[in-house]
Amino acid sequence: MAEENKKQDVQDENLDVQPVAGMATSSQPAPSEQQENPEKFLEEFNWHNYEEGIDPIDDKKLEEFEQLVEENFVDTLNDEVVTGKVINITDRDAIIDINAKSEGVISLNEFRYNPDLKEGDDVEVLIDVREDATGQLILSHRKARVIKAWERVNQAHDEGLIVNGFVKCRTKGGMIVDVFGIEAFLPGSQIDVKPIRDYDAYVGKTMEFKVVKINHEFKNVVVSHKALIEADIEEQKKEIIGQLEKGQVLEGTVKNITSYGVFVDLGGVDGLVHITDLSWSRINHPNEIVELDQKLNVVILDFDEAKTRIQLGLKQLSKHPWEALDENLKVGDKVKGKVVVIADYGAFIEVAEGVEGLIHVSEMSWSTHLRSAQDFVNVGNEVEAQILTLDREDRKMSLGIKQLTPDPWTDITSKYPVGSKHKGIVRNFTNFGVFVELEEGIDGLIYISDLSWTKKIKHPSEFTNVGDELEVVVLELDVEGRKLSLGHKQVEDNPWDKYVSEFAVGTKHTAEIAEIVDKGATIDFNEDITAFVPTRHLEKEDGNKLTKGESAEFQIIEFNKEFKRVVASHMVIHKEEEQQIVKQAAKKAAAKNEDKTTIGDVNADLQALKDKMEGK
């Protein structure tokens, strides 16, 4: 019913616009579509717009309106960076027109980097506040620059573009660079392809860089100038390495010096001159020959198939020293040189630049016992030597020092005849004896048995020390074998010769028991003679045995000079007394027999002897 009422109202409205009867038709408009076909009009009528009071607008006019808005106004609800025009500059602010319903304001502090700002300039801005308390549009140029800067930095990183940056200052490990208003970090290793010694020289310069890394989380940017140089170098490398040939001589610049060699820049490609290829002479460090940034000629010795490793030489540009060696130099000649290397087996002597000879340790002294080369020479010493062998083809030379002095064995028989006494220095030990040096080149051996007449020595170290001076006697001399046999004990007479009579068998001596040992005890008669007392010979007259520290009289029952063996007995002392008493009793008995002594008398004498022996 309501729908029918609405339609009726519409019809009434339509009827109201019909022409009035009697009016001139010339002044009346042509009938509209709804007048000609009211039923179709009612079917297509927009009842929603009618209820909301919305007047219909032609689509063409609507499109024209939207285009005008798009051309003349900005969407102030969007945070995108827009371009505005400076229309006025005050003492504190810049008035910017961004085609919004009102102009925006930006503090001049944001344009301090651009002191030449003027009216009419286009600037990038970001809408900071759409309307402040006074309805003013607040813009930000600084924020717009930051957003645009990050867009440019990301674009440069993604597309590998080259950017300009201003080196602001030095920091730990590198430099701070201003790129599009963003502070980027330039590591020290990314400044140049060669090591940088003066960072401050780059401060205040505008240079080209490549963005190599961006940390979006921490808003960090890393740039590199080295990457640009390397790109140029790679192009140069391709051109240079394509022309490399062994034996080619090139000019280069010393780029880096290490302990093992020198890196040389050949104009975009690096080569290594090993320390052994710097000089024909031995050197301790390459800086003895070259210095940084020095220009020099080098020869290409070798390179790999990819030509990424180039081996260079410097010494090869000069003639080999052996080829320049004096042709008249021969075996037997004397030469002078400096000690350059010392090893345990000898020393290398540089007799001319790049020409070395070896002095073996056995050729340093006439001494038969070898010592270390350090005992004779030190690195840097100037020495004179004699050429022993010379091989120009193999470039080898052996030298000798001892040959400059007479061989001490030439007159050995007159200097050290058998039986002569001398003093020498103990040089070293063996298990069987001691080596004693009488003079440089003359050594002799003292066997352990010839160290002492009386002491029993298990090892020479018990008797003497290395470095001690000993008096010796020449016992044997072998000139061909260059051997001397020496003795120390022979310096004095054999004390056992006099002990033969002093400690003859049957002699008696008083001494203390020194030690109780297995199967007996020992007693010391003097410093040389220690006698052994068997256990049963320790028995005293009362039947007990002697103990350590107890003094008693002893009788020698065995003396062997050859084996230095002495055996003594205490028991035989009182046994001998018994035998003497028995003998005396027998004699007395015999005398009484002559006086017709009775058997009872003899028995009485024997009983008296028995009582004495039993201590009665």
- List, for residues 565-610, the tens digit of each pLDDT value: 889 998 888 777 666 665 666 666 566 555 555 555 556 666 665 5
Question: What band does 355 get if pLDDT is binned at 50, 70 and 90?
Answer: confident
Beta bridge partner(s), residue 88: 95
Q: Two tokens at 595?
A: 């006086």
> What is the rounded distance in angstroms from the CA atom of residue 573 to the CA atom of residue 570?
6
Q: Compute, in degrees rounded to 10, the torsion defined by CA atoms 46, 47, 52, 54.
A: 30
- The residue-averaged pLDDT of 197-204 equals 83
> What is the rounded distance in angstroms from the CA atom of residue 556 to the CA atom of residue 536?
15
Please classify residue 308 by burial: count the beta carbons closer than 10 Å to its beta carbon, then call 0-12 exposed, 13-18 middle and 19+ buried.
exposed
First to last CA, the chain: 178
Q: Compute, in degrees rounded to 10, the torsion defined by CA atoms 289, 295, 299, 305.
A: 110
The pLDDT value recorded for residue 221 is 86
The pLDDT value recorded for residue 386 is 92
The pLDDT tens digits for 69-119 are 555 544 544 467 788 888 888 888 888 888 776 778 887 887 777 778 888
Q: Is the pTM of this model over 0.85?
A: no
The pLDDT value recorded for residue 399 is 92
Comparison of pLDDT for 454 and 20, the residue scoring more:
454
Question: Hey, what amino acid is at 449?
Answer: S
Domains assigned to the chain:
81-145 (2.40.50.140), 165-230 (2.40.50.140), 244-313 (2.40.50.140), 333-404 (2.40.50.140), 411-487 (2.40.50.140), 495-582 (2.40.50.140)
**Which DSSP helix (H) or strand (E) runs through 52?**
helix 47-52
> What is the rounded distance in angstroms from the CA atom of residue 165 to the CA atom of residue 167?
6
**CA distances (Å), 294 to each of 268, 290, 464, 606, in order?**
16, 7, 63, 124
> What is the rounded distance in angstroms from the CA atom of residue 459 to the CA atom of residue 570?
34
> What is the rounded distance in angstroms from the CA atom of residue 64 to the CA atom of residue 43?
29
> What is the rounded distance in angstroms from the CA atom of residue 613 to the CA atom of residue 616?
8
* Average pLDDT taken over every residue of the chain: 78
DSSP code of residue 190: G
The pLDDT value recorded for residue 613 is 54
Find the angle CA(494)-CA(498)-CA(501) to the nearest 5 degrees.
145
Find the angle CA(517)-CA(522)-CA(528) to the nearest 5 degrees.
135
Residue 391 has pLDDT above 60, yes or no: yes
Distance, CA of 583 to chain centre: 95
Q: Two tokens at 557?
A: 């029952």
The pLDDT value recorded for residue 119 is 84
The pLDDT value recorded for residue 26 is 44
Residue 188 has pLDDT above 80, yes or no: yes
Please classify residue 281 by burial: count the beta carbons closer than 10 Å to its beta carbon, then call 0-12 exposed, 13-18 middle and 19+ buried.
middle
Comparison of pLDDT for 164 and 240, the residue scoring more:
164
- The residue-averaged pLDDT of 277-304 equals 87
Beta bridge partner(s), residue 175: 170, 186
| φ and ψ of 421, to 5 deg | -100, 140
Residue 404 has pLDDT above 50, yes or no: yes
SS (H, E, C) 282-329: CCCCHHHCCCCCCEEEEEEEEECCCCCCEEEECHHHCCCCCCCCCCCC
**CA distances (Å), 533 to each of 13, 137, 419, 572, 593, in order?**
166, 130, 39, 11, 42
The pLDDT tens digits for 248-282 are 888 889 989 999 999 998 876 788 999 988 888 78
Question: Hey, what amino acid is at 365?
Answer: S
Find the angle CA(552)-CA(556)-CA(558) to the nearest 5 degrees.
145
> What is the rounded distance in angstroms from the CA atom of residue 559 to the CA atom of residue 570?
16
Comparison of pLDDT for 456 and 305, the residue scoring more:
456
Q: What proportion of the chain, given as a percentage, has pLDDT over 70?
A: 77
Question: Hey, what amino acid is at 132?
Answer: D
> What is the rounded distance in angstroms from the CA atom of residue 538 to the CA atom of residue 361?
62
Question: Hey, what amino acid is at 2?
Answer: A
Beta bridge partner(s), residue 165: 207
The pLDDT value recorded for residue 532 is 92
Largest CA distance in the chain: 229
Highest mean predicted confidence (pLDDT) among 61-65, 271-275, 402-406, 526-530: 271-275
Highest mean predicted confidence (pLDDT) among 152-161, 194-203, 463-472: 463-472
**Which DSSP helix (H) or strand (E) runs through 64?**
helix 59-72
